Each structure stands twice: as structure tokens, then as C-alpha cells.
Structure 1
Amino acid sequence: MNEVMKAILERRSCKKYKPDLVPQELIDQVIEAGTYAASGMGKQSPVIVAVTNRELRDKLSRVNAEIRGNPGADMFYGAPVVLIVLADTSVPTYVYDGSLVIGNMLLAAHALGLGSCWIHRAKETFERDEFRELLKKLGLEGRYEGIGNCVLGYPAEEPKAAASRKASYVRYVK
């Protein structure tokens, strides 16, 4: 089977990670895959903020849990790396563009032997003043909206098998 198709069919969200650090080389490869995602009109509206700082990672997880209404939970499942995708809202396709970036990164992580999971609530997190200030320090002022968080790490357990696909998934028009 083609390697890309194999990755697409086998990749699963990881919800339990080992505490081991991910080498920068692997993080960079995952990020690079994200930068090659298709984007509307070639505008490349998304940006990726890579967080390997444990203190900031933990703070992001706490805020995510608070927004979710699940205080005290680690919404990042122990993953040591968080790749935050934001996108410039002045580009009409920004949500789709950012979503494709995350999709590419999820597949790249799998191909590199890493676990990954898309974690929501980046939009709500980066609407808060304290995180707007973080973006400002990174030179990301203006119309950036959080699209999602892609967490990475080494899986602590084997993923479950994929659920069978629903029979009504596809309709053909011939």
C-alpha cells in the first residue's frame, strides 16, 4: 500500500503519552509538514506556535480544561509538545487553512512514530488577554484566531483500531 494512504488509514488520536521529550528534529519535521498544507489562494494564513516549555504547556492545558469545564484535567493527555495553529482572519479561508495545517501535522507525526491529537479550544484560549499578550510578544498582533492545538509525544499505549466507516459516508453522482 502507498505510504501516504497507509498513514491516513492507520493514524489515530493518541490520548496517553510518555513523558519523554521529543527531539527538536522530529518537531521540526512535523511543523514543516504543516507549512506545506494547501491554503486558499496560496495566502498561507496560518502560523504555528511551537510550545516545548513545560510551564507554558501546563498553563495552556489548565486554561483549556477550565474552558472545557473540566478543571484539573490535563487536556493535553501528558503530551510534552503543543503546536498551536492560529490563522489570520483577514483571509476568507483561514479556518480551513488552519485545519489543513493540523491535518498535515497529525499525519506527519504518525509517519515519524509519534502520537498526536487535535485538541480544540485554541480560539477561546487566544481570546484571553494574557494569551493575546503572548502573541504580541511573538510579533503576532492583529487578526489572529486560534484554530486548534496539535499535541505531540511518544504514545504510552497502542492506539485502538479504527472504527468501521459508516455505510452512508459517500454518495456518487454519475
Structure 2
Amino acid sequence: MNETINSMIKRRTIRKYKQEQITDGELNAVLEAGLYAPSGANQQSAVFIVVQNKDVIKKLTKMNAEFFGKDIDTYYGAPTIVLVLADKNKRTPVEDGSLALGNMYNAAYSLGLGACWVHREKQMFESEEGLALLKEWGVEGDFIGVGALTLGYPDCELPAPPARNDNRVFFVK
């Protein structure tokens, strides 16, 4: 089987990470995969905010958990978080950000990294606190939060792929 397709099939979500930080080379390879994701009309609306500062990760975790409604570590102790936002004024911002997240998710697996797609960034970056963080970080524009990608070295065995549900492919020839 083709190596790319094999990686997509074997990739699993990881929710337990070693505290060791990933290398800059690994991070840059994952980000490049996201930058080259397809986008509507090639508008490239997705932007990435890489967070490796432990205090900022704690703050983001608290914000995300509040919108989740549970006091848990929604970023699973990952040493790196990539927040994905997209320009609301472009044609397909959510789709563009989602494709970028998917590319990065698969790239992470291909490099031996663990990754998990996390939600609630939309709510986080519509809030006053989230908007203040964007301003503090120098991120200017009219953005919608699409999601986040946790990145790190897995501190667990890779789970086996669960069976796929039936009746999900239909052919019209």
C-alpha cells in the first residue's frame, strides 16, 4: 500500500505525552504540511499560533475546559499546541483551517509524533479573554477559531484502529 495512505490508516489520536519538547525540525515539518493544505480559491486563510510556553498552555487549558464544561486537561499535557484560526472574511475559513489541521495531524504521525485535534477554539477566541490574547500575541485580523492540534512524543502504545462503520460509501455510476 502507498506510504501516505498507510499513514492515514494507521494514524491514531494520542492523549498522553512525554514532557520532552519536540524538535524545531519536527515542528517546522508539521507546520509546513499545514501551510500546504488545500484552501478555497487558494486564499490560504488559516493561520497557526504555536504555543510551547507552559504558563500559556495552562491558561489555554483552563479556558478550553471552561467551554467544555469539565475541569480536565483538554490538551492532555502536550508540550506543544498549534492553535488554528482562519480569516473570517475569506470564502471557506473553517474548511481551510480543518484541512490544515488534517494535514498537520497526518504529518505528525509520519514523523513519529503523537497528535490530537481539540475543539472549542471558536468559543475561546470569540471571548474577550481570547481576543485579548490574540492582541497580546500580535495576531491582528478578524479570525474564527477552527481547532487546535496537540503535539508531542507519545507516552503510550499506539492504539489499534477501531473497525470502520458499515454503509458509509455509496456509488453512483
TM range (shorter): over 0.9
Deviation at 1:129, TM superposition (A): 1.6
User: For 1:21 and 1:138, how far apart are their aligned partners in 2?
Assistant: 21
Q: Normalising by structure 2, what TM-score?
A: 0.96
How many residues in Structure 1 have an aligned counterpart in Structure 2?
Answer: 173
Q: Which residue of 2 aligns with 1:58?
A: 58
Question: What letter matches 1:109 in structure 2?
Answer: A
Q: Which moved more, 1:32-41 or 1:124-133?
A: 124-133
Aligned residue for 1:151, secondary structure, equals strand
Deviation at 1:138, TM superposition (A): 3.5
Q: Deviations over 1:51-99 (max 9, x none)?
A: 011110111011111110112x111111110000000011121100000
Question: What letter matches 2:109 in structure 1?
Answer: H
Q: Which residue of 1 aligns with 2:29?
A: 29
The equivalences for 1:148-167 within 5 A come to: 148-167=147-166
Structure 1's unaligned 5+ residue stretches are none
Q: Normalising by structure 1, what TM-score?
A: 0.96
Q: Deviations over 1:92-129 (max 9, x none)?
A: 21100000000000000000000000000001111122
The two structures, once aligned, show a CA RMSD in angstroms of 1.0
User: For 2:66 and 2:59, how far apart are their aligned partners in 1?
Assistant: 11
Deviation at 1:132, TM superposition (A): 1.0
Extract structure 1 runs of 4+ deviating beyond 3 A: none
User: For 1:139 and 1:62, how far apart are their aligned partners in 2?
Assistant: 21
Q: Which moved more, 1:33-42 or 1:156-165?
A: 156-165
Aligned residue for 2:50, secondary structure, equals strand
Question: What letter matches 1:57 in structure 2?
Answer: I
1:115 and 2:114 matched? yes
User: For 2:170 and 2:62, how far apart are their aligned partners in 1?
Assistant: 42
User: For 1:31 and 1:77, how far apart are their aligned partners in 2?
Assistant: 20
User: For 1:46 and 1:33, how far apart are their aligned partners in 2?
Assistant: 12
1:67 and 2:101 matched? no
Q: Deviations over 1:123-155 (max 9, x none)?
A: 111112222122123433331010000000011
Q: Which residue of 1 aligns with 2:18?
A: 18
